[in-house]
Structure 1
């Protein structure tokens, strides 16, 4: 494939507050996946809402530094910001500003041309509770394989039932869907195993399930492949970018077609676990490569 992978999702400023003080990072799940793909050597574009403000300039400069092409949607509320307060265990609790809660992407000629040329479109942290935006996404990406991470955030979730409807409508069209234990609890109030079965029943070709310290599994038809977390030197510093690293690595390896056997899927999961483990050994969500 010659086209760039296109990621559709959020781009924002992560403001981290803990005992060490306050730090800012460029982030957002969609942006993290796009930058992660670029760091893995995959040409990538990002469709995201970015404001014309100082934070927006920071986001643009960061994406340019990592060779990600930005196709920005305008924002009347400025750039999105997430203030996260860390618990003793390192898991962030988020509060989102008005821009993040009203995120919206638009599909003009440039966006549609990029989507038409993409080998795969990755959707992460999308407002699936907005039926109009969900329909616009599916229309714009109608002819391209989809990879979806619902990545719901309690602070941005307006209507849980509507989000589930929009997510399932998109998932039924997807080649790959990544879900975690938090997604299953927030959206369905059920164990992740039940959500895996539901997504498979919707027709998702490959369901990628992440369990944090419990590793990951992938369901492809009757085949299930599982892997534990990778054991790398050093301690875990920050889990914020772990799931995004798993998705970036998986998409990098399957963007031109899903593997057809257990050994190939095992390689994908092994590599995803290694990259996630390296990422979690540095502060911030920037994907790190073990080598």
Structure 2
């Protein structure tokens, strides 16, 4: 990679969209003909790629986001979010419309997400020349598991730029996730659907390219596999009451990548991730807000936090 001039720290690929957030009295939500939502139903920009990009930018990293967006009100919300936070955005046209979802959020911060899969086509692709250009100008590429990104993996691997991905609530078996898991250099995933998290993270490292795999487990912390060594990472103490877990995994990934690109060892990167994830759980689902660098470094240095 000698002779290159990086203009971007992290290129975030895919995962742009809009969520409609509905606070509900409990999850699972018992059947009823109707519910009165006194706290309001709100629609805001922010899906996994948006939140990773937001987290990276808040930590001072030069961030560029590439995805397909519709010429619709949802797409306008995504564009406005990036303008507001100074995040470079390459928005390719998506005739099917901007991705959208409905999030039901319980009083304890848990959520149930309903994704509108009609706003995508099997032949959705990122133009190869543009993809190569943006990747070549970046120190790192974070790839979401949306469908166009699956087709982008061979092109990205050929650029030689380090890759990361988040498998979210993968069960360790669904074959759709495997190309992402076995192509990336850094793999994040939730342990929520795993019967044996240690076995899964080791399998990812053995079958793929990743030397770093992180399985997050909410209040139970995370499992970090780095260069063959397994470490339990304790959860960080949230700085305020937990109101919504949406975006916690994205915040963890962004802060971990900040540490990695700053030259920190994996254990320190995971500590950053835990602090950022805990912060994200205190942010209401109706807001798009990420922890800043100074606050992250301060909290990560506090003992017992």
Cα distance in 1 between the residues matched to 2:156 and 2:163 = 11
Comparing 268-277 with 234-243, greater Cα deviation is found at: 268-277
Q: Quick one: structure 1 residues 226 and 238, their matched pair in 2 at CA, closer, same or farther if it must change by over 3 Å?
A: same
Matched, 1:14 2:30: no
Q: Which of 229, 233, 239 is matched with 1:233 structurally?
A: 239
Cα distance in 2 between the residues matched to 1:135 and 1:51 = 20
Q: Which of 174, 179, 198 is matched with 2:184 structurally?
A: 174
Deviation at 1:136, TM superposition (A): 3.2
SS for the counterpart of 1:276 is: helix
Instruction: List per-residue Cα deviations over 1:3-34 (Å, max 9, x = no partner).
Output: 31101121111101124220122111011101
Q: Quick one: structure 1 residues 153 and 217, their matched pair in 2 at CA, closer, same or farther if it must change by over 3 Å?
A: closer
Deviation at 1:276, TM superposition (A): 1.5
Q: Quick one: structure 1 residues 168 and 250, their matched pair in 2 at CA, closer, same or farther if it must change by over 3 Å?
A: same
Cα distance in 2 between the residues matched to 1:37 and 1:3 = 15
CA contact (8 A) 2:75 2:98 kept: yes
Cα distance in 1 between the residues matched to 2:143 and 2:202 = 21
Q: Rg: which structure is higher? A: 2
Equivalence map 1:190-229=2 (5 Å): 190-203=195-208, 204-229=210-235
TM-score after normalising by structure 2: 0.80
SS for the counterpart of 1:120 is: strand
The aligned residue for residue 168 of structure 2 is: 151
TM-score after normalising by structure 1: 0.83
The aligned residue for residue 281 of structure 1 is: 282
Q: Which of 248, 260, 272 is matched with 1:254 structurally?
A: 260
Deviation at 1:105, TM superposition (A): 4.2
Q: Quick one: structure 1 residues 26 and 96, their matched pair in 2 at CA, closer, same or farther if it must change by over 3 Å?
A: same
Q: Which of 129, 142, 149 is matched with 1:122 structurally?
A: 142
The aligned residue for residue 27 of structure 1 is: 46
The aligned residue for residue 89 of structure 1 is: 108
Ranges in structure 1 where 5+ consecutive residues have no aligned partner: 155-159
CA contact (8 A) 2:169 2:190 kept: no
Cα distance in 2 between the residues matched to 1:99 and 1:63 = 24
Deviation at 1:281, TM superposition (A): 1.0
CA contact (8 A) 1:236 1:280 kept: yes
Comparing 48-57 with 222-231, greater Cα deviation is found at: 222-231
Cα distance in 2 between the residues matched to 1:251 and 1:211 = 18
